Structure 1
Amino acid sequence: MRTLEPAGGQRRPTTRDRIAGGVRAPIAGTISVLALGGGVSFGPREGREIVFGRNRPLVHVCVGENDLRVSRRQGTLVCADDRWWLSNLGTRPIRIAESHLLFRDEDPLPLDVGYTPLVIRGSDRREHLLEVFVTDCERGAPGPRHGHCTAAETTHELSDTERLALIVLGQRYLRHEPRPQPWTWEATARLLDDIQPGAGWKRRRVEELVTAVRMRLSANGVSGLTAGEVPQPIGNMLNHNLIQELMCSGTLVPRDLEQIEF
């Protein structure tokens, strides 16, 4: 049994080759959509629609074919205003990338250029992956670059004092603890005072130092580090985002724990 004919597009074969690394396409804005049983590719055209869901004969991309938690028409991808927009038609939310959930009847969400994984939670803790890749002039599949130098990671400059305070604040993350949270200001100040007795480590000093780092990184274009960028209640979110950025950029790494473990 075949999926809908991709009029104006082409089928992608059943394969486990992922498309996260890029898709070669002659036209910017071409979208490729891939599930376990195959997928499709379409060039951009105003009003063009791609349907995905469980009912193979009536969708372009079949996902969760034998899972009744996945809707027969789970969602659509529609080309409008030179972008591809995701809509959820199903009863289950669609998880976009790591955390964003799109629910039925919410406004369509525009997809960024490049790779976006979409996940639908099914029965018995199963998860069904729908991979999407939208090309632009620079983001198609590049040719082999076996001998090229590896691109340098962009780390953030920290003073020795800032680094030490942030290692203590973010030590749960550096230890890869499940669902980590930053240490409190008070606990961070106490440990810093144990490490550097007489250096004047107090709660207020730690808070001001970390806040200064957040503001500096925010001014350099890092998002999620100011109160206006995160929803209420803020809680530990600003420090959580700061520590995640420092680790993802390679500014802080697990071996930094050696500075606070004796």
Structure 2
Amino acid sequence: MHFSDSLARGVASTGPGTLHARTVTGGIKVPPRTGLTVRFGRGERPDVDLGVGVDDLRVSRRHGQLTFRRRQWWLTNTGQQLLRLPRGRMVHGSSEPVPLAPGYTPLFVRGSGFREHLVELYVTGHDDQGPVSRRRADTVAPDRWPMDDDERLLLVVLGQRYLLCEEDPRPLSHGRAAEQLRYLRSEESWSGRKVEYRIEAVRRRLHGTGFPTR
């Protein structure tokens, strides 16, 4: 059953499993009804229910779809370009359908050049009624981890290319980091082996605290 057919029958729901989908061109709210399919892509209605990448010829007219079955929404790539999910997971035309978990899921459609088109997905859980506006709420502070001055300096030297927002950054090698540390702290003896040892000690200490050590 196509989503447009469901709308024509007056189906509506805000209970668990309701799908909220949004792009820069609009948004829809879809009830959790078995067999219901929502299509998205560059095309127009009735071919798609949600437009995405409407000015990008690399985006297929029907690029993907979400189907409700077995109490979940399942994502399928029906286009020619990849779909990207969180944690770098890629979905292509030969991939098995991917189930959406309750809550928020950003989905990126590959386009021309470096373009990626965002489709924001939200599946209502049992304890909520969909996305809630929090415009006046206090901003959640970023996570912070205790480090001494030496550890902080060591991490800044190793990760300076990330801090400088360079394109495709990489950490400095342990040997190169030791050279810079000897220049900055000429009174101390630094070697690549010592840098490696100190980094591993920091990793072990922060393990289990929520710090992304891998």
TM-score by length of 2: 0.78
3-state SS of 1:219 partner? coil
Matched, 1:167 2:166: no
Could you list the per-position Cα deviations for residues 90-141 of structure 1 after superposition, in whole angstroms to 9, with x for gaps in the alignment? 1111233584432111122233443333333345765443222223335833
Q: Which residue of 2 aligns with 1:133?
A: 122
Q: Give the distance between the partners of 1:132 and 1:172, measured in 2 at CA.
A: 33
3-state SS of 1:84 partner? strand
Q: Give the distance between the partners of 2:55 and 2:187, measured in 1 at CA.
A: 65
Query: Which range moved further: 27-36 or 125-134?
Result: 125-134
Selected match of 2:142 from 124, 140, 153: 153
- C-alpha displacement at 1:72, in angstroms? 3.0
Q: Provide closer, same or farther for how the CA distance between residues 139 and 5 of structure 1 changes in structure 2, counting only shifts above 3 A.
A: closer
- C-alpha displacement at 1:4, in angstroms? 5.7
Q: Give the distance between the partners of 2:185 and 2:86, measured in 1 at CA.
A: 42
Q: Which residue of 2 aligns with 1:192?
A: 181
Amino acid at match of 1:51: R
Contact 1:6 1:60 in 2 (8 A): no
Amino acid at match of 2:52: V
Q: Give the distance between the partners of 1:192 and 1:10, measured in 2 at CA.
A: 69
Q: Which residue of 2 aligns with 1:102?
A: 91
Q: Which residue of 1 aligns with 2:208?
A: 219
3-state SS of 2:189 partner? coil
Contact 1:10 1:40 in 2 (8 A): no
Could you list the per-position Cα deviations for residues 148-180 of structure 1 after superposition, in whole angstroms to 9, with x for gaps in the alignment? 554333211212221111111111122222222
- C-alpha displacement at 1:200, in angstroms? 2.9
3-state SS of 2:90 partner? strand
Matched, 1:30 2:18: yes
In the alignment, structure 2 segments of 5+ residues that lack a partner are none
Q: Provide closer, same or farther for how the CA distance between residues 211 and 110 of structure 1 changes in structure 2, counting only shifts above 3 A.
A: farther
Q: Provide closer, same or farther for how the CA distance between residues 127 and 162 of structure 1 changes in structure 2, counting only shifts above 3 A.
A: closer
Contact 1:39 1:60 in 2 (8 A): no
Q: Give the distance between the partners of 2:190 and 2:21, measured in 1 at CA.
A: 53
Q: Give the distance between the partners of 1:30 and 1:195, measured in 2 at CA.
A: 57
TM-score by length of 1: 0.66
Moved over 6 A (4+): none
- What does 1:75-90 align with in structure 2 at a 5 Å threshold? 75-90=64-79
3-state SS of 1:208 partner? helix
Number of aligned residues: 209
Residue identity (%): 37
Q: Which residue of 2 aligns with 1:111?
A: 100
Contact 1:10 1:42 in 2 (8 A): no
In the alignment, structure 1 segments of 5+ residues that lack a partner are 12-24, 226-262
Coordinate RMSD, CA, aligned: 3.3
Q: Which residue of 1 aligns with 2:4?
A: 5
